[in-house]
Amino acid sequence: MLTSILISVGFLLACGLILAALLVLAEKKILNYGTCHIHINNGKKTLDVEGGSSLLNSLAEQNIFIPSACGGRGTCAYCKLKVNEGGGSISPVEEPYLSPEERQEHVRLSCQVKVRRDLSIEIPDDLFSVRRFHAKVARKRALTHDIVELRLALVEPTTIEFEAGQYIQLESAEYKGHEAVMRGYSISSVPSDKTHLELIIRLVPDGICSTWVVQHLKEGANITLSGPYGHFHLSDTTAPIICIAGGSGMAPIWSILRDMKEKGLNRPATYFFGALTQRDLFFLDEFKQLAKECPWFTFVPALSKEPADSSWQGERGLITEVVDRHFPDTSQHEAYLCGSPGMIDAAIAVLKKNGMPEANIFYDKF
């Protein structure tokens, strides 16, 4: 009896799988959408593309790169675009990422919109300057037990223009059965260094791209990336700034602070660098040197899990507690935060509690 139930269930499962495979095949091979026209920004530009791919990929094939930190899996919501006509209905994957206002404005996840007919879409102007780059790993060095720094020499094109705080998307290679993926990494080098890019990358346990970078990528290897992306950069006000970032979240802050120095911006700036223990700290000497050279800059490293009897002389506690102690009044400041969603949400709560208007808080959640 049990055997025949198992055989029936197995048979039904197999039928389901075969049907799904046939549908995918039919979509790819049998359904021919032909050439579709993508009208961009009220017809300012029109692309002719083969129908059948996602809007994200169709645009990338035409060298228009939309941010896609999850590589098209529908989990990052970075690939939002306005699709005014031809996008079909919102898919269940998109539902959780689109607010009622965005739905009204025809915002969609471009990785989930299939090009099946002519489309009318809107693309922000800054994305037209995003390029795909071939680069070589000029240097790879360990900064801590789980963080590496990459220095990439740009090969083609040979130079890049970006603003301090922006990020690029790295394309990993296939390895050990993992597919190639794209992930966002903030640029830690300064914009004046146009021929190289530096990245600070933390190993995420079981993470596809970070494991590839930290454990498999070698100096001298060829690598592909696109960028620059993002709107996380210094505002053009004169407000004093508070930066909060731990681990690899330091990357854009390191770029922004050195860019300020190069440009002679003397805005008071304090950087709170949160880490668990001393073995998670890096660039201490570099930041101390920056503080020595720039009277407007204060560096505050803080450890949350350092043993009480250790040699550590600096701040202790959660980085948000340390910020709270240093800045009981944040009403005149701006804040630049980078790191995990949990850390950023906690930091925003403290900054707002101490008087900072929400409009003065800028962040990139990793």
Ligand X SMILES: Cc1cc2nc3c(=O)[nH]c(=O)nc-3n(C[C@H](O)[C@H](O)[C@H](O)COP(=O)(O)OP(=O)(O)OC[C@H]3O[C@@H](n4cnc5c(N)ncnc54)[C@H](O)[C@@H]3O)c2cc1C
How far apart are CB 196 and ligand X at their closest, in Å? 16
**What residues between 246 and 275 interact with ligand X by CB under 6 A?**
248, 251
> Would you give the binding string for ligand X spanning residues 65-104, x where CB under 6 A is met?
----x-----------------------------------
* Residue 206, phi then psi, degrees to nearest 5: 65, 10
Q: Which stretch binds ligand X (CB under 6 A): 2-10, 108-116, 154-162, 206-214?
A: 206-214
> Would you give the binding string for ligand X spanning residues 159-198, x where CB under 6 A is met?
--------x-------------x-xxxx------------
β-strands 147-156, 241-246: how paired?
A: unpaired
Among 208, 241, 257, 302, binds ligand X (CB under 6 A): 208
Residue nearest to ligand X (CB): 207
* Residue 323, phi then psi, degrees to nearest 5: -60, -45
207 lies in the site for ligand X, by CB under 6 A: yes
248 binds, among ligand FES, ligand X, none (CB under 5 to 8 A by kind): ligand X
Q: Which stretch binds ligand X (CB under 6 A): 9-17, 81-89, 92-100, 208-216?
A: 208-216
Q: Closer CB to ligand X, residue 327 or residue 366?
A: 366
- Give the span between the Cα atoms of 157 and 129, in whole angstroms: 13
170 lies in the site for ligand FES, by CB under 6 A: no
ω before 157 within 30° of 0 (cis)? yes
Residue where the block lists tokens 């017809």: 43
Among 70, 155, 204, 294, binds ligand FES (CB under 6 A): 70
152 lies in the site for ligand X, by CB under 6 A: no
53 lies in the site for ligand FES, by CB under 6 A: no
Residues in contact with ligand FES by CB under 6 A are: 68-70, 72-79, 109, 111
